[in-house]
């Protein structure tokens, strides 16, 4: 549950109302996902994150790199366009001030052909890292092939709260099962298309569903 301080992740928010369901096919993100994944993409899984300042150093170490095809995390170019595996759309529910912690990455690593050296994977005193400040309501889109992680949350005025929706090509499933909907009728036809399990032949392009 989102109000359980013992848990840093929460889920089930797509059932909380139309505003939450609207994140599935938000108008601002549809052309981006179509451009970097393709016209037949799907929402693989989604969850929220909460972080409190407790003085503990570390954060979540960096992970992932370009070319993780067997993990569904890849970035490639072919046929005059880019192709991505798992892509994250993250929404900030609160202010993320400069230096306050949270999402960080090493820019450009999604294009790497070889794994970065292990010395690059620390989140403390790493000159290669870029921290991304965000205002409440901002949207951040990145491919899981990017080397990224989480800096310790140092902001003492509020928790870090973010919503992460993870999309994939329509033929791929990273999670163990598609997102289970308690009441599918509350979702639009396009949202149900995006939330459907993986398929290729009969899958209708997202933008062709009302």
**What is the C-alpha end-to-end distance of the chain, expressed in Å?**
32
207 within domain boundaries = no
Q: Encoding tokens for residue 164?
A: 């992460």
CB 101 within 8 A of CB 133: no
150 within domain boundaries = yes
Give how far Cα 120 sits from Cα of 4, 86, 151, Å.
34, 22, 14
173 within domain boundaries = yes
Tokens 């690593």 -> residue: 109
Tokens 């192709």 -> residue: 83
CB 114 within 8 A of CB 56: no
Q: What is the CATH number of the domain that holds 28?
A: 2.60.120.620
Number of residues written out for the chain: 210
- Phi, psi (rounded to 5 degrees) for 208: -95, 5
User: pLDDT digit string (tens) for 186-208?
Assistant: 999 999 999 999 999 999 999 99
Run of H or E including 195: helix 189-195
Residue 163 has pLDDT above 90, yes or no: yes
pLDDT of the residue at 138: 97
Residue from 45, 9, 28 nearest 194 by CA:
45
Q: What is the pTM of this model?
A: 0.91
CA 197 to CA 90: how far, in whole Å? 21
More confident residue, 67 or 131: 131
Residue from 146, 170, 165 nearest 62 by CA:
146
Range of the structural domain that residue 176 is part of: 9-190
98 within domain boundaries = yes
203 within domain boundaries = no
52 within domain boundaries = yes
CA 35 to CA 38: how far, in whole Å? 6
205 within domain boundaries = no
Residue 4 has pLDDT above 80, yes or no: no
User: pLDDT digit string (tens) for 97-150?
Assistant: 998 989 999 999 898 888 878 888 878 788 899 999 999 999 999 999 999 998
Instruction: Provide mean pLDDT across the span 29-41.
Output: 98
200 within domain boundaries = no
pLDDT of the residue at 56: 53
Name the DSSP letter for residue 8.
S
Q: How many domains does the chain have?
A: 1
């Amino acid at each position: 549950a989102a109000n359980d301080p013992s848990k840093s992740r929460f889920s089930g928010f797509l059932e909380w109302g139309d505003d939450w369901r609207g994140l599935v096919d938000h108008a601002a993100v549809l052309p981006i996902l179509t451009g970097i994944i393709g016209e037949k993409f799907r929402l693989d899984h989604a969850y929220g994150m909460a972080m409190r300042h407790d003085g503990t150093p570390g954060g979540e170490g960096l992970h992932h790199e370009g070319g993780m095809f067997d993990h569904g995390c890849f970035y490639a170019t072919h046929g005059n366009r880019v192709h991505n595996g798992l892509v994250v759309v993250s929404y900030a529910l609160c202010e993320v001030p400069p230096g306050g912690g949270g999402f960080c990455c090493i820019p450009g690593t999604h294009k790497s052909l070889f794994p970065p050296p292990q010395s690059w994977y620390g989140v403390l005193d790493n000159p290669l890292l870029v921290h991304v400040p965000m205002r409440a309501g901002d949207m951040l889109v990145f491919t899981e092939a990017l080397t990224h992680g989480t800096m310790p949350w140092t902001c003492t005025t509020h928790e870090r709260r973010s919503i992460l929706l993870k999309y994939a090509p329509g033929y791929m499933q990273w999670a163990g099962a598609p997102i289970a909907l308690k009441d599918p009728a509350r979702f639009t036809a396009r949202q149900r298309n995006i939330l459907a399990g993986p398929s290729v032949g009969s899958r209708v392009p997202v933008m062709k569903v009302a």
